[in-house]
Amino acid sequence: MPTCYRHPDKETWVRCQRCERPICPDCMRDAAVGFQCPECVAEGNKGIRQARSTFGGGIVRTPIVTYTILVINVLVFGAQYLTETITGQLAMWPAGVALLDEYHRLLTAAFVHSGVFHILFNCWALYVIGPYLERAFGHVRFVALYLISALGGSVLGLWIDPVNQPTVGASGAIFGLFGAVFVVGRKLNMDVRGIAVLIVINLVITFVFPNISWTGHIGGLIMGSLLAGALAYAPKNNRTLWQAVAIGGALILLVVLVVVRVSAILAMS
């Protein structure tokens, strides 16, 4: 009596249609004709082109990145109320970046908020448009888009805001996502008037109401739009490589801007 090649203690008369090795019911995988063993199925799947998102990322069924960022925002906001020093340690503060080498502030500021309305608006916006962009770009590209947009807002603030002026909020990243939705919509020939109106309204609010960091909003909008354009319009041939170059180039540009600005602040101090 032949036994399964993977389970020698199980007798079987069924053989893999591809390699003809005996397989037990636990190892049988449905094939076009008969059954195949797990190894032959895996080997056959290597030649099958895997499904990709609209712009080359992996298929996203659950937007886990969006949900993770939302959870982090809420947890940090709760920590701000429990520990007063959290805000000061994580906020974007040009003097802290340049004089104290606290470069983490360039990113951590995107997870700190100044009040309930502030975090509610940013989290609502992320909840609405985050899943759409995450499914369009895939997890990794969406993370890059979000963080580089946030970093773009902080870098513009580093250049223009007073060195002793702290700022907080994910608005730079959110504006970057707004710009990305507009770019993606144009690429896919969709009606982008709604997102265009939303961007204009929020820009008006940015410049009309006091105590709003316009540098963070504009910096995030610019970086998010440019990076989304590079990702969406990358040539299909070697698209992943072109997108990686675009992400790496954006990071290098921002790092250079930070280094130049920090050197200038140190020279003036």
The DSSP-derived string for 170-195 is SHHHHHHHHHHHHHHHHHTT---HHH
Pair 165, 254 in one domain: yes
Instruction: Tell me the mean pLDDT in the region 97-107.
Output: 95
Pair 95, 13 in one domain: no
Residue 215 falls inside a structural domain: yes
Tokens for 103? 């470069």
- Global confidence as pTM: 0.81
Pair 44, 68 in one domain: no
Give yes or no for a contact between 2 and 14, defined as CB atoms under 8 angstroms apart.
Answer: no
Pair 189, 242 in one domain: yes
Residue 54 falls inside a structural domain: no
Helix (H) and strand (E) counts for the chain?
11, 2
DSSP assignment string, 40-105: HHHHHHTTSPPPB-TTSSB--SS-HHHHHHHHHHHHHHHHHHH-THHHHHHSB-HHHHHHH--TTH
pLDDT band at 60 (very low <50, low <70, confident <90, very high): confident
Pair 119, 42 in one domain: no
- pLDDT of 50 > 90? The answer is no
User: What residues act catalytically?
Assistant: 171, 217
Of 169, 77, 182, nearest to 129 by C-alpha is 182
Domain of residue 162, residue span: 64-267
- pLDDT of 47 > 60? The answer is no
Please state, in angstroms and rounded to a whole number, the distance separating the CA atoms of residues 222 and 209. Answer: 21
Residue 58 falls inside a structural domain: no
- CATH number of the domain within which 251 lies: 1.20.1540.10
Instruction: Tell me the mean pLDDT in the region 67-81.
Output: 95
Please state, in angstroms and rounded to a whole number, the distance separating the CA atoms of residues 137 and 57. Answer: 5
Pair 120, 221 in one domain: yes
Pair 89, 42 in one domain: no
| pLDDT tens, residue by residue, 190-231 | 899 999 999 999 999 999 988 888 999 999 999 999 999 999
Residue 57 falls inside a structural domain: no
- The pLDDT, as a whole number, for residue 226 is 97
- The pLDDT, as a whole number, for residue 210 is 84
Q: How many CA atoms lie within 13 A of 43 on its CB side?
A: 7
Residue 56 falls inside a structural domain: no
Residues in the chain: 269
Total structural domains within the chain: 2
Of 167, 124, 172, nearest to 148 by C-alpha is 172
Pair 11, 79 in one domain: no
Tokens for 125? 């916006």
Give yes or no for a contact between 92 and 109, defined as CB atoms under 8 angstroms apart.
Answer: yes
Residue 53 falls inside a structural domain: no
- pLDDT of 161 > 70? The answer is yes
Residue 55 falls inside a structural domain: no
Instruction: Tell me the mean pLDDT in the region 7-31.
Output: 87
Looking at every residue in the chain, the average pLDDT score rounds to 91
Pair 101, 29 in one domain: no
Pair 103, 133 in one domain: yes
- The pLDDT, as a whole number, for residue 49 is 57
Instruction: Tell me the mean pLDDT in the region 237-242.
Output: 91
Pair 186, 75 in one domain: yes
Pair 117, 25 in one domain: no
